Amino acid sequence: MLVDRSDRAAVGRIEGLGDLSHASLTYSPDERFAFVFGRDGGLTKVDMLTRTVVARTLQAGNSIGGAISDDGRLVAVSNYEPGGVKVFDAGTLDLVADLPMPGKTIGLVDVPGRRFAWTVWDTGEVFLGDFSGAEPVVTMLGNAGKNPFDAVLTDDAHTYLVGLFGEKGVTAFDLWDDSPEPQKFLTDYGKTGEDMPVYKMPHLQGWAFTEGQYALPAVGRHALLWVDRDSRETVATTEMHGQPVFVIAQPASPYVWVNFATPLNDTVQVVDSRSHDVVATLTPGKAILHMEFAPRGAEVWISSRDDNKVLIYDTRTREKVAEFPAEAPSGIFFTARAHQTGL
Amino acid sequence: MLVDRSDRAAVGRIEGLGDLSHASLTYSPDERFAFVFGRDGGLTKVDMLTRTVVARTLQAGNSIGGAISDDGRLVAVSNYEPGGVKVFDAGTLDLVADLPMPGKTIGLVDVPGRRFAWTVWDTGEVFLGDFSGAEPVVTMLGNAGKNPFDAVLTDDAHTYLVGLFGEKGVTAFDLWDDSPEPQKFLTDYGKTGEDMPVYKMPHLQGWAFTEGQYALPAVGRHALLWVDRDSRETVATTEMHGQPVFVIAQPASPYVWVNFATPLNDTVQVVDSRSHDVVATLTPGKAILHMEFAPRGAEVWISSRDDNKVLIYDTRTREKVAEFPAEAPSGIFFTARAHQTGL
C-alpha cells in the first residue's frame, strides 16, 4: 500500500511483489524507486510515481533483506536459500556479482564507499564487500560468534553490531578501522535467571542509539539492555511488558519505543533513555507489528495487523491523532529512509 | 538554481526571490516546497515541481534565516530589522504570530513539538516558543552571554549551543530539561595569543558533531576546537589553513570538512575526528563559499563563487568527479534537509 504521509492516507496499492511475510524494502536516493525483498527470493523494483513494477527477478529461494549502495548504483540481497549474497544493478536489476557464502546471510547493510557488510548465520563470519572498483573485493573481517541472528550499523557507520543467538552476547566491529578486531560484550546478561522460549526473534534494525547508549533487546527476556556506546559496559536494564521486538529511537528525543513478541503484542512501551524508566504503556490494537516515525519525530505510524488498521500517534501527547484501514499491515517504510546509512 | 542531484546537473532557474546574499532556505516535509529567507526581509515560498513562486511576503527589513516546524505547519523567521521573530502559516504565508524582541534575533531553530528556539544578539537572551496550543507560549530560558552571533541545535535536539562574539565562549542549554540552566564552556580559548580581526563570522549551522565531540570554529583564530560532548572539556585544537567558516561532518564517516574566510577561501581542509589531524588539503577553486554532502555522504558539492562553478567531489577518493556552471553560486541545500531536525 502506498501512503501519503502529509495526507495521512492510502493513495494506491501495488500488486505482484511475491511473498511479503516478513519482507523489507529500501529506496533509491531520489526516493522514486522502492526495492522490495520478498521471502520468495523475489527482488522487485517499484516505481512509486507510476505505482508499477518496473523490474522483478526471482533471484533465490528465500531472501531476508537487502540494501542499496550509498551512490544508489547497486542493490545487494541477503539470501537464506541457497545462502550467499547477490548484487544487482539498481537501474536494470541485472546481476553484477554472485557471492556464494558458507550459509545463510543476515544483517546485510550498506557501508559508505559503495560497500556492503553482512554476516553468515552458520559460521559466524562477518564480511565486507567493496564494489567501488572494477571487480568486487570481499574481505572476511572476523568471527562474530555462534549463530548471529541479525546485525546493524550505527548511524555514523562506525560500528557494525552483530547479535548472537547461539551464545549470549553482541559482537562489535569498528568499520573505521582497516583491520577491525571483533569486540564481544553483553556476554553474561541474565545468567542468574532462566531464559524463556523466544517467540519472535528481535530485530536489530530497530536497535536504538540514544544518549551515548545502545538500547538492545534481551533475547528471550522481558527486558531492555542499555550499553554505553564507548565503554560497552551495561549501564542499566529496564524490565518490560514482554519480549522486545523493535526498539526504535523517537527522532530528536530522549525516548525509545518498543513493541513485543506474540502473545503480548497488543502493547507498546515508551522508555526514557536518561532514567531508563518506562514512561508510557499504550495498547494501540491487536498484533502491533511495526512502528515508523516521521523523520523529525512529530508522529509515529503503528501497524495493527489484526485490526487491519494503521494508527498514527502524536509523539508529544502520545495520543492517537488519526487512523486508516489497511489489509493486515506489517512493515511501514517512509521514503526518507533513502537518506539514512545502514537502513 | 534548481539541480538534480542524481543527474549532477542544473534543471531550472527560479527568479524573484529578492536579495539572496547570505540567504538560506528550508523545505516542507514532503520536499515539494522551499521557503527562502532573503536579506531584504522577504519570505518566499517556491514550488519545486512547477518551479514557480507560489507566495511571497516582505515581512521585515532584513531577515537572517528561519525554520519550519516539525509537523510542517509553521515557518518562523528570524529578523535583524526591526528584530524579533515572525511566524507564518506554511500553507498560505499568513502571519500567525508577531513576537517583538529586544533586538536582532539569531540562531532560530525548529524544536520538536511544534516549537522554535532563538537568541537575541543585543541582550543575549534565549527563548523557546511553543506553538502547539491555541496561543503561542514564549519562555525566556536564560542568558547566553555577550553578543551571541549564532546558535545551533544538536542532531538529537538535546542541546542548543550559542556561540558568543562579545566574550569568549559557547553557552549550552539542555532542551530536554524543563528549566535548563545556561552552561558556559570554552571560555578561555586562545587567551595566550592575540586574536586576529574576524573577516567572516563562522557559521554554527555547520558545527560538526562526531565521535562524541563538537568540532567548533575558533572565532578570530586559524583553529578548530574539539570539545567532549558530555564533559564539555576541550580535548584538542587543530591548527588550520585559515579562519574556519563552515565545519561540516561528512555523513557516516570520521571526517569533518572545513572552508575558510576570505582571503584564504580557495582552500578546503579535511580533518579526522579521531586523531584531530588534517588529512587532506584541497584547493578546489576561487571563493569556496559552501559545501553540501549527499545525505549518505558519497559525494560533496562545493560552490566556487568566483569560478562560477559547482564542483562535485567523491568523498572516498577526494577527487573531483563532476562540475557544472552556475552564476556566482553560494549556499547549496539538498531537499533531504527536510528530514533533519534543526536545519
To test the contact with chain A by mutation, choose from B116, B159, B339 the residue with the greatest count of A C-beta atoms within 10 A, namely: B339
φ/ψ (deg, to 5) at B194? -105, 135
| Contact present, B338 and A294 (Cβ < 8 Å) | no
SS3 state of residue B336: helix
Q: What is the mean pLDDT of residues A50-59?
A: 96
Chain B: give the shortest CA distance to residue A336, in Å: 7
As a whole number, the mean pLDDT across chain B is 92
CATH number of A1-187: 2.130.10.10
Q: State the Cα–Cα distance between residues B303 and B311, nearest whole angstrom.
A: 6
* Residues of B (320-339) whose Cβ lies below 8 Å from A: 336, 338-339
CA-based R_g, chain B, Å: 19
Residue A188 is predicted with a pLDDT of 80
**In this complex, which of B71, B251, B254 lies closest to A341 when CB atoms are compared?**
B251
Cell of B30: 514532503
At residue A271, the pLDDT reads: 97
Q: Which residue has the cell 565531540?
A: B213
Predicted confidence (pLDDT) per residue in A292-307, tens digit: 999 999 999 999 999 9
Query: Residue ranges of the domains in chain A?
Result: 1-187, 199-343
pLDDT > 70? residue A14: yes
Measured between alpha carbons, how far is B29 from B91 in angstroms, rounded to an integer?
12
Give the model's pLDDT for residue B193: 55
pLDDT at A103 over 80: yes
Nearest-angstrom CA–CA distance, B116 and B71:
12
At A155 the pLDDT is 87
For chain B, percent of residues with pLDDT exceeding 70: 94
Q: Give B340 to chain A, closest Cα distance, Å.
A: 6
Give me the residues of B, 58-87, that contact A with CB < 8 A: 70-72
Q: Please provide the average confidence, as pLDDT, over all residues in chain A.
A: 92
Over residues A262-290, the pLDDT tens digits come to 999 999 999 999 999 999 999 999 999 99
* Mean pLDDT along residues A326-343: 94
pLDDT at B250 (0 to 100):
95
Q: Say which range, A87-91, A302-306, B246-250, has the weakest mean pLDDT.
A: B246-250
A292 touches chain B (CB under 8 A): no
Cβ within 8 Å of B, A 34-63 = none
Read off the DSSP letter of residue B305: G
**Which of A122-126, A170-174, A339-343 is predicted least confidently?**
A339-343
Pick from A87, A79, A169: which is nearest to A119 by CA? A79
Predicted confidence (pLDDT) per residue in B14-66, tens digit: 999 999 988 899 999 999 999 999 989 999 999 999 999 999 999 988 888 99
C-alpha cell at B16: 524573484
Q: Kindly state whether A176 is in contact with chain B, defined as any CB-CB distance less than 8 angstroms.
A: yes
Q: A201 pLDDT exceeds 90?
A: no
Rounded to whole angstroms, the Cα distance separating B151 from A199 reads 48
B112-167 tens-digit pLDDT: 999 999 999 999 999 999 999 999 999 999 999 999 988 999 989 999 999 998 88
Close Cβ partners of B329 (under 8 Å, ≥ 6 residues apart):
B1, B289, B290, B303, B304, B305, B308, B309, B310
ipTM score for this prediction: 0.93
The answer to whether residue A97 scores a pLDDT higher than 70 is: yes
Return the residue of A nearest to B299 by Cα.
A71
Mean pLDDT, range A183-191, rounded to an integer: 81
- Which residue, chain included where needed, has cell 521486538? A245
Segment A226-243 shows an average pLDDT of: 93
Residue A195 pLDDT exceeds 70: no
Average the pLDDT over each of A17-21, A162-166, A195-199, A306-310 and give the range with the smallest value. Answer: A195-199
Structure confidence at residue A219 (pLDDT): 80
Inter-chain residue contact A112 with B299, CB threshold 8 Å: no
CATH class of B199-343: mainly beta
User: Are B1-187 and B199-343 in the same CATH fold?
Assistant: yes
The closest CB to that of B30, out of A6, A296, A299, belongs to A6
